[in-house]
Amino acid sequence: MSYNAGVAVPVFAKPFGVAQAERLLWRAGFGPRPGEAAALAKLGLEGAVRSLTRPPAEQLSGPAPTDEKRLPIAPLDAAGHDHLWWLDRMVRTNRPLVERMTLVWHDWFATSIVGVKSQKLMLDQNELFRSHAVGSFRDLLGNVTKDPAMLVWLSGVKNTRRSPNENYGRELMELFTLGVNRGYTESDVREQARALTGWQARRAKGTGYYDFRYEPRQHDDGAKTIFGRSGNFDWQDSARLCLEHAQHPSFFVRKLWSYFLPTTPGAKTQSALEGLYRSGGYEVRPVVEAILRHPDLYNGPRMIKPPAVFAAGLLRATSRGIDTSLWWRLGALAGQRLFYPPNVAGWNDDRWLDTSTFRGRWFISLIALEPQRGAEKRSGGPPSDAKKLVERAVAFWGRPTLTPETEALLVKFAKAALPQAKPSGNAPAIVENALRQLVVMSPDYQVC
């Protein structure tokens, strides 16, 4: 598909209300804090989008993360604490889109600690993604190519002029810049591997790789032919040639779009976004802003929330911080342990919900509500009316958008549960707590 810088990207023209702001906060962040959707709606579409894409200086609000013993977490050392560290940022940040784009790049350039074997290298890479959240894709790609975690993960430190390794060169084209079987050949893979030679590191027994550096003597300085162009290409040329490839803009737009919408962009939108990306010199922010203003984001079908987004959203909604190490185990149970993508292609968004991972989401909601369950032991409290209990449970979560069918089922549950819970002596509180969990476990809340 050709790109056209003169074609305007469509913009959502209907009223921008609380429901639209709620969806925007989930798609471009981790859901609203109490009152945040209403406040964002008052800014209007343009103001709301710009508040996310052009945020103030970073500020993390709330208590620092701890484990269940109230000890500080140790993200560089303790198993799972890297997950806790990042989840904490998702919960406490005042720049949700920056963290969400960090998650996008983590999936786009999927790197796993299983192969890297260093939480420090993974956290360093995470900061790299954050620093380039909505910046230049050219700069991001160049820095990822020489990133120590990536050099270990895709064998860059094993790629020498005497023994070229094709791992990174292949994924650079297939997964990062062009797409599967789009505009490159096996010869291009081999030549890319030669161009990428030269990166080295030392390795200590038991502690992994260190002292990452570029050694010109290990670089193949012979002529290479990539995409029909010949030259003494090096690792910087390798990334540049992919960006300049005719197939790159269409790949970039479709892949970036897929993180915000479950449908494919129309032909005119695709062309306009490609033009915006190319004319902007590979800058990410203009394309993200155009996607977040697009009518399809607000009129189109809903998307399943990734497990990390779902968990962070519950904690933001309840103003609760990280105070237990359970979150990384629950993330794994729900199908998304941060820093552990299943393979180099990242997570499969089509498989977020199944009979196994749904159980993980159930426990995430259960633990998120744990501090609220003291209401069961108090006298008085909520009313004995089923409809009012449902209204209170929905209000507890900031009145998320629910279908009439879901609300009717919640009322039906409450009517049946109140008599059964009566022997406990505080049936309304017990039922209200159950309703709170059922609200966020409903099909409506699993999507945004």
pLDDT, position 377: 53
Domains of the chain, residue spans:
18-55+95-299, 369-448
Give me 84's structure tokens.
Answer: 């806790």
How far is C-alpha 157 from the chain's CA centre? Answer: 28
Give me 221's structure tokens.
Answer: 């300085």
pLDDT, position 373: 77
Tens-digit pLDDT profile for residues 317-363: 999 999 999 999 999 999 999 999 999 999 999 889 999 999 999 99
Whether 338 contacts 311, CB under 8 Å: no
pLDDT, position 374: 61
Q: Strands 229-231, 224-226: parallel, antiparallel or unpaired by DSSP?
A: antiparallel
Coil, strand or helix: which one is 213? strand
Alpha-helical regions (H) of 33-156:
36-41, 44-53, 81-92, 96-108, 113-116, 119-131, 137-145, 148-153
pLDDT, position 275: 97
Tens-digit pLDDT profile for residues 251-273: 999 999 999 999 999 999 999 99
Tens-digit pLDDT profile for residues 45-97: 999 999 999 999 999 999 999 999 999 999 999 999 999 999 999 999 999 99
Whether 101 contacts 260, CB under 8 Å: no
Spatial distance between the Cα atoms of 289 and 300, rounded to a whole number of angstroms: 17
Phi, psi of 211 (to 5 degrees): 55, 60
pLDDT, position 1: 35
Tens-digit pLDDT profile for residues 1-49: 334 445 799 999 999 999 999 999 999 999 999 999 999 999 999 999 9
Which band of pLDDT confidence, cut at 50, 70 and 90, is reported for residue 378? low
Please, which residues have CB within 8 angstroms of residue 94's CB and are 6 or more apart in sequence? 55, 56, 58, 59, 60, 61
User: Residue 424 pLDDT > 80, yes or no?
Assistant: no
Cα Rg, the chain, nearest whole Å = 24
Give me 45's structure tokens.
Answer: 């579409």
Tens-digit pLDDT profile for residues 162-209: 999 999 999 999 999 999 999 999 999 999 999 999 999 999 887 789
Alpha-carbon torsion, ordered 33, 36, 37, 41, to 10 deg: -170
Coil, strand or helix: which one is 424? helix
pTM: 0.95
Tens-digit pLDDT profile for residues 271-321: 999 999 999 999 999 999 999 999 999 999 999 999 999 999 999 999 999
